[in-house]
Amino acid sequence: MKQTFNSFEELEHYLKEWTNFGGDGIYDSVGIILLLSACFRNISTNCHQSFFKECDDIASFFSEEEFMYLKELVLAIEGDRK
């Protein structure tokens, strides 16, 4: 089934509610991490480095809980690379 989105809000909602590519069953942790990786590749490819220097409110895009989870994810990635 091909999913199409007509707005940012539709895509955001879909990703917030996503559990797996089949629609039912067990949560696909690997799948969501691969989607996150694709988002990072998209930023790396399309977002100029100066954005991070010029945008002083990037932290406001994340709740405190999201920020803490992101830090845990980075620590887990760093641990896997040792």
Tell me if 1 is assigned to some domain: no
pLDDT value of position 25: 82
Longest CA span, the chain: 43
C-alpha–C-alpha distance, residues 26 and 22, integer Å: 9
Tell me if 2 is assigned to some domain: no
Domain range for 75 is 8-80
Tell me if 18 is assigned to some domain: yes
CB 67 within 8 A of CB 59: yes
Helices within the chain (DSSP H only): 8-17, 29-46, 50-54, 64-80
Tell me if 55 is assigned to some domain: yes
* Nearest CA among 11, 32, 10 for reference residue 20: 32
pLDDT value of position 49: 78
Per-residue pLDDT of the chain (82 residues; tens, 9 = 90+): 678 999 999 999 999 999 998 877 899 999 999 999 999 999 889 988 788 777 778 888 899 999 999 999 999 988 877 6
Tell me if 70 is assigned to some domain: yes
Tell me if 19 is assigned to some domain: yes
pLDDT value of position 1: 61
Count of domains in the chain?
Answer: 1
